[in-house]
Amino acid sequence: MDYRDRVRANTAPEVNARIDEDTDARIRHYASCSIAAISRRIEELESEWDMERWLEGNASALALSGVALAALHDRRWLILPAVVLGLLLEHALHGWCPPVPVLRRLGVRTRKEIERERYAMKALRGDFAAVLHPPAPEAAIVAVKR
């Protein structure tokens, strides 16, 4: 298992391939766009939620909901935050928990996957002109491969 990217290691290969293909297709698409469009895409990428943020946000919302319901209605609702926190611990230790396959199939990417596209966009925009000249989509894809 690749401990540097446990989410990818615990994701079905066809899902990883689809996410990578979608990223490569976007890079190719933006290769023919204006610098302004590429810059807008980079801004979008900088605000895209990665897998960790999705899991942390959802786990926090569910845990807080369970605590609130326990305080307002019945303490048996404390089971909800206990389960959610257990699953979050499972993710921290192993890079997997039940929401991961669902989120991955929905296209939620890891930070590394998002950064790969962001750096390719920067290469297309010319930020690394000394490294890639002239910037081309295939060169940008190769330059940021895992």
How many residues are there in the chain?
146
Please give the Cα distance from 73 to 71 (Å, whole number). 6
**Domain positions in the chain:** 6-143
pLDDT at res. 67: 97
pLDDT at res. 69: 97
Structure tokens at 104: 């991955």
pLDDT at res. 129: 72
Nearest alpha-carbon partner for 141 in 35, 26, 49: 26
Per-residue tens of pLDDT for the chain, all 146 residues: 455 688 999 999 999 999 999 999 999 999 999 999 999 999 999 999 999 999 999 999 999 999 999 999 999 999 999 999 999 999 999 888 999 999 999 999 999 999 999 999 998 998 877 665 555 677 667 766 75
Please give the Cα distance from 135 to 124 (Å, whole number). 5
Do 41 and 124 meet the contact criterion of CB atoms below 8 Å apart?
Answer: no
